[in-house]
Every structure is written in structure tokens, then in C-alpha cells.
Amino acid sequence: MEPFKDPEFKNNVILTATESLTMESRPARPKYARNKNVLCVGGSGSGKTRYFIKPNLLQMHSSYVVTDPKGELIADTGRALYKNGYEIKVFNTINFKKSMHYNPFQYIHSEKDILKLVTALISNTKGEGTGNDPFWEKAETLLYTALIGYIYYEAPQEEKNFNTMIEFINAYEVREDDEDFKNAVDRMFDRLKKKDPNHFAVRQYAKFKLAAGKTAKSILVSCGARLAPFDISELREITAYDELELDTLGDRKTALFLIMSDNDPTFNFLIAMVYTQLFNLLCEKADDVYHGRLPVHVRCLIDEAANIGKIPNLEKLVATIRSREISACLVLQTRSQLKAIYKDHADTIVGNMDSQLFLGGSEPTTLKDLSAALGKETIDTYNTGETRGRDENHSLNYNKLGKDLMSIDELAVMDGNKCILQLRGVRPFLSDKYDLTKHPNYFLTSDADSRNYFDIGKFLNDESKLNKEDVYDVVDADAVCDDEDE
């Protein structure tokens, strides 16, 4: 493992107690280059957070985007990051009052961004009973694309958000017995068509209007069901404007915590939208601004990756983000969770993870795949024989046989302190899990001292924080004042 490590401990990705991987994407000897994508699999209680996510957060060599079920990670490590110069961002889908604002419309810069946003919305808000007919989703896609296109190009800045789109859908009226009826939205697009017949939104809306009255009404009902979460006033308020600044994570050291519920998936589609836009924004910025590589590496520690929803084109992203100084660490309870969401693309995603870490578990599919991937070892066997009769004979035979390095039943009862690391091109390691208390920055966490607890509410409500939109008087503190009273 030695050629893959960095001599400086702080410049590594921590994998086990004895194995780590350098963050240098272009080492002196190219044959030792590995991407920083990690697949971490471990059943409930195996220590995915304590033994993998927390130690890597405390390395503090990159910007971090962390999925944080229940908000425990930011409470434990937020102060450590803040004291070391990190800008802290938090998007909380459990308690909107303890969250910064996130407006997906803020990151739309072209027509292709509109299509990506709609794809992410459709992929992660499928309701029950939608059936297998793709017609309804395609029809909804046309309407969403048209409305978002209109909002992006025509609406004032303060109205470029989901609130406006919901108002458009609420104002949409269909009369089955009158195909020529024009509602407020129809008239709005008619005016835009007169001004610009080739407008992107007009073209999309014209395709949607091919649906007959009764069909259009059914499409609107489907839209209403899909966008039901936006009827909650708190959600509409939190998406009214943006404070996350997703496109700046590669510019300076930032820690973005995405707090989500691990038992209620209602608002998890917002987390998937954040990741979708994040990957696209950072890749574009790396190419357009920084000549292909971000100045600060961005590590996405995606805990409970199976619960956030589907990130569109993830199988392509994990293959291309490496060169742009971005990496993704998928943390799952079982491998079958990945297959359930990404279907045939699951193997492609796993194939682009140079490091795979197994912390323990009992799910049969995971154990079977791992046992097969570990390969076999050679063992020596010998058999003895004895024949009794008039003459007594003895025999002794030696053989070499192949045996699974670890069988399924051996993996199922693996010691709780052990883990298995597979690094591309290297024999697998059976190692101890990393001891969080041994990390040099452990003393800064609330695990070590409860006084280090990071209070999200207090942090967000701190009136001393400066806002970029506010106007301030600037005073030269070094100036000498003649009046002693002043």
C-alpha cells in the first residue's frame, strides 16, 4: 500500500486503520494514480459514519458536500471545520427553520440547464400508481420545461423560483367542452409568441398544447400530485432565493451539509436536485474558468445514498469528475440498494470506484458479490488411507486446492472491528477499522468535548454575520482620531 499513500497524513483519504490513499491526482509515478471515488458498504450499526465519514471530514484538505441524516454530523464536526476556516452551509429538509435557502432556478444559465432541472425533478418525484405508460411523464416534462423557460427568460429576478411555477399551474384552467377556451397561461404564451415566435418556452408549450382538453386535465392532476410538497408554505419560502452558492464550492474551502430524514422521503428529491446541479455546475466551472481542474478538491460524502433519490447520469459523472478535482463517496447499507435505483448502470458506477470498503453486514447479495470479488486462495490438503487384510497398506496423498479467500458464511460473521478494503490493482486488505479517537483533530469534535457542539439554529440566526446584499458603513480602524472622546 505504501506507494499509494502520501507521506503527510493530512493529505490522504482515510480508508482503514492501516490503509489510506493520497489526494494527489497526478502522482510522480502514474501507475499508482487512483481516483478518489469510494464505495462504502456496511449494514446498520457497522460504523459507516464513525469509521469512514467523520475521519475523512476531519482531514480538512478539500471542500465537502455531506449528506447528513438527522443532522448529527454537522453538530459533531461543524465547529471543527468552522475553526479551521471553512465556510459552513446547511440545507435542512427536516426543519426548514434551521436551513439556508436553496433556489434551483438560481443555477439555470441556459436551455440545457432547464432540461437538466426538469429531468432531476421528474426522476425523484415519482408518485405511487404512475404506471408504466411514459406518456404522462413526457407530457408533464413539456409543461414544466415551458413554464420554467418562460420564468427564466421573462420573469423578474425575484420571481425566478418554484413559487411562480406553482402559481402558473394553479392558474391553469381547462374546459373539456370548449377546446378553444384560453386561460391566463395560454394568453401569456400567446403574447410571448407574438413577440418571439421561436422562443424556447413557446416551442415547448406548443407541443404540450397538442393534448386534448380531457387529456390536459389529467396531466394537470398529475402535475398537482407531483408538486404537492410545494403547497407547504415553508418549502416555498425556503426555495424563494438562494444562499448555498453551489458553484463556489471549488473556489474556497466550504462544507455543505445536506440534512435529510432517514425515514421520511417526502423532501429527499431536493437533495437529489442539489447533487444534480452541483456536479453539473462544478464540471462546467472547472472547464470554463479553471482550465479543467478546480483549485479546491470537492469531496461528496453521500451517506444513505439509496435514500436521496436518483442522481441523473451518475454512471457518467463518476467516470468524468476525477480529472476536474471532484470525487464521490457512496455510502450504502447493501449493494442491492444501488441496483434497485440505478438498475443496469449500477455495475458501471461500482466499476468507477477505485476504492471499495466493506464494514460488515449480512445481506446475501452483498456477501455473494464480495466473496466472488475477493477471489480464491490456494490451500494444501492431504488424505490418508489404510487397508487392512492379509497385508496392511498405508497411503498419503497431497493436493493443492482453490478456496474462496473468504466464504459467504465467513464474511457474515466477520469481527466487528474488521473491514475489507479493495483497491484497484492491489490484493484485498483485511484490516482494522479506523479509530476516530486517534485522529489529530478529534479533540475539536463534540464526541470529544460536548462544548464543541455546533448549534445550527444559533449559527444561522447570528446577527453579527454579514450579508452580501446589505449595505454597511466602512470605518478605518487604524485612523488616528484627534478627539479623545471619540
Neighbouring C-alpha atoms within 13 Å toward the C-beta of 237: 9
Count other Cβ atoms within 10 Å, centred on residue 186.
15
* 33 burial via Cβ count (<10 Å: 0-12, 13-18, 19+): middle
Dihedral angle computed from the Cα positions of residues 72, 75, 76 and 81, in that order, rounded to the nearest 10 degrees: 130
Give me the DSSP letters along 221-250.
HHHHHHTGGGGSHHHHHHTSS----GGGTT
How big is the chain by its Cα radius of gyration, in Å?
28
Global pTM value: 0.86
The confidence score (pLDDT) of residue 463 equals 47
Tens of pLDDT along the chain (486 residues) come to 899 999 999 999 999 999 999 998 888 888 999 999 999 999 988 999 999 999 999 999 999 999 998 889 999 999 999 999 999 999 999 999 999 999 999 999 889 999 988 988 888 776 444 455 678 888 889 999 999 999 999 999 999 999 999 998 888 877 767 677 788 888 999 999 999 999 999 999 999 888 777 788 888 888 888 888 888 889 999 999 999 999 999 999 999 999 998 777 888 889 989 998 999 999 999 999 999 999 999 999 999 888 888 888 899 999 899 889 999 999 999 988 998 889 889 999 999 999 999 999 888 888 888 888 888 777 777 778 777 767 777 777 877 766 778 888 888 889 999 999 999 999 999 999 999 999 999 999 999 999 999 999 889 887 445 555 566 676 666 655 555 554
Residue 145: name the closest of 208, 228, 56 by CA: 208
* 284 burial via Cβ count (<10 Å: 0-12, 13-18, 19+): middle
Residue for cell digits 464521490? 328
The confidence score (pLDDT) of residue 464 equals 46
Task: Return the CATH class of domain 2-102+243-361+414-460.
Answer: alpha beta
The confidence score (pLDDT) of residue 30 equals 86
The confidence score (pLDDT) of residue 128 equals 44
Residues 6+ apart with CB under 8 A from 386: 392, 393, 394, 395
The confidence score (pLDDT) of residue 132 equals 56
Residues 6+ apart with CB under 8 A from 79: 444, 445, 446, 452, 453, 454
The confidence score (pLDDT) of residue 308 equals 84
* 27 burial via Cβ count (<10 Å: 0-12, 13-18, 19+): middle
Residue 376: strand pairing partners: 404
SS3 60: coil
Distance between CA atoms of 167 and 405, rounded to whole angstroms? 61
Query: Taking the domains of the chain in order of start, what are their residue ranges?
Result: 2-102+243-361+414-460, 105-235
Residue 408 C-alpha cell reads as 459467504
